[in-house]
Amino acid sequence: MATSPEAWQLASWAKKDEQRARIPIDWLLKDSPSPQSTNYLDVPRKCGLLSADELRITEDHDATGLAEAIKSRKLKSVDVVKAFCKRAAIAHQLTNCLTEILFDDAISRAAELDAHLATGKAPLGPLHGVPVSLKDTFKVKGYDASIGLAALTFKPSEENSTLVDILLNAGAVLYCKTNVPQTLMALDSHNNVFGRTLNPLNNAVTAGGSSGGEGALLALRGSVLGVGTDVGGSIRIPAMCHGTFGVKPSSERIPYAGQENGTLPGSAKLGVAASAGPLAHSIRDIELFFRAVSEQKPWEMDPDVVPSPWSSLATTSGKRLKIGVVRRDGVMEPHPPILRLLDEVSNKLKAHGVDVVDMDITPLFSQCQSLANVLFGIDGGNAMFSLLESGKEPLSPWLSTRMRRKPALTLDKVRELQAKRTALQTQFLQIWKDGAGDAIDAFICPVAPHPVPPIDRWNGVSYTSSFVLLDYPAGTVPVRMFDKADMQGDMSLTKAVGSWDKANRKLWKDVDREVYVGTPLCVQVVAPKLAERALVEAMGVVDAAVKGGKGAIGSKL
């Protein structure tokens, strides 16, 4: 006898019906990719749905270029927004990257913004007419922020998240929201409501999480500028998986207020605060995002944001940079191609005129992940489990063996953990000087100790969560693609440090390394707390060094 569907299944069917209804029929792909096809990057260009003008708009510009073209009225916002809406619809059909579809509202707003310029008025802000995509955690009035939980579906937000209002005030056009993992605490973007997001570069490897939908959308150029959030690596990991730039700022730089993350209000004040930040195709677009937000004086809208205009932040412009190289965290040994990549980038930085200094910070670095993990779970997951249980929703397979309801930590235990965190942050202040006492502007390190892994095989997040614990701004810079030569090399013969390292080593020893071929190899750049401008400038220097000037601030794509 057939059983009745559970509440979460009904919610999933209804949300998917809603998605389909919001995509115009003539934007639907006529043919699905061949089952043998693992890379979807050419589909938007070859499917016949995008006109020559739409291809030029979505492929030949970054956000900065689009903003300039719209401001000078060389392009109309309505044409730009329609092109990205259509390309986002195509990307969704290929990768399942979207949650909420805002196309109709976006096209109407774009027309209004064009009319505004036609009267001779100045642009609303640096993002006037530019389409911007958002992670599903952001609340947009009139649309769900379900974060893939059945219990939160069909409960439209009554107001915008603070950053949403700021982006609108800066002239942005918001046109879609993107998929996330169940609970936001997984490294592969799968949930029971919307399903799994695929990586369009290679559908056998993960799209990452928790901003995985943003990463996939950008990879297919269905977005020119996206906004994600990061509490353990959730911007930097999807950026690595898809070969884009992505920055997690310090928690007091960009407004985070008004997000839906499945926790009780004030929880971040007790544990570790998440950050909101950009994913983009160019370094200058990363800078554009920070400048656009700063110009709106976000500290007047979110009390957690420090009052410091972008132009007031310390700059490294005009000085010879000193960049450190951190190869290991003392928790997981990097795979051979990751260590070679660091050497490769180090040598290119030296050739680019950068002072490079090796940094061994493993005695401190190795203490971060375990402390961060405990602080992530101070409430025992009780708020999230209550949401899941209200929809009779099971945990995703990857989470089912890793997450369970626990007692919330006592106040005294939280106090003790925060004291340890403060002590560790204080000790870390010493790493920003070299042996001669000169300041180190930033350092590079892995985003992960392994290449982009198969679905549901991402290992630990010690290389990313540590900088959330320390509240350092950090960003992903793509270097090149993994090729067959990168398959060579053996792991260190030293004994695995622990269970995390053991699982990490299996990703090199027990996986067919062919799966890594054609996936991005990236480095992470880290700067001192609240030094976002210096971070972006250092990322630009790293990008220029590895790409011969392409991608630095002020350059073209």
Residue 210 annotated among the catalytic residues of the structure: yes
Q: Tell me whether residue 447 is annotated as binding.
A: no
Element (H, E) at 92: helix 77-95
Q: Please tell me whether the peptide bond between 210 and the residue prior to it is cis, using omega within 30 degrees of 0.
A: yes
Active-site entry in 133, 210, 282, 466: 210
477 is in an annotated binding site: no
For strand 131-135 and strand 225-230, is the pairing parallel, antiparallel, or unpaired? parallel
Find the distance separating the first CA and the last CA of the chain, reported in whole Å: 59
Residue identified by tokens 């409501």 is 193
What are φ and ψ of residue 356, in 5° steps?
Answer: -115, 130
Q: Answer yes or no: is 164 a known binding residue.
A: no
Site of tokens 């440090």? 497
Return d(Cα 44, Cα 200) in angstroms, integer. Answer: 11
| Phi-psi category of residue 73: left, alpha or beta, with phi > 0 → left and psi -120 to 50 → alpha | left
Task: Determine the Cα angle at 211 with ends 555 and 224, to 5°.
Answer: 30
Look up residue 477 and give its amino acid.
V
210 is in an annotated binding site: yes
Q: Is 49 annotated as a binding residue?
A: no
Answer whether 138's CB lies under 8 Å from 254's CB. Answer: no
Q: Helix or strand or coil: residue 521? A: strand
Q: Which of 12, 157, 223, 234 is catalytic?
A: 234
The response to whether 325 counts as a known ligand-binding position is no
215, amino acid identity: G
Distance CA(301)–CA(288), nearest Å, equals 20
304 contacts 257 by C-beta, under 8 angstroms:
yes
Which of 135, 139, 177, 348 does the annotation list as catalytic?
135
Tell me the H-state helices in 307-367.
336-351, 362-365
Question: Binding site: which residues?
Answer: 184, 210, 231-234
- Kindly list the catalytic residues: 135, 210, 234
Annotated binding site for substrate: 184, 210, 231-234
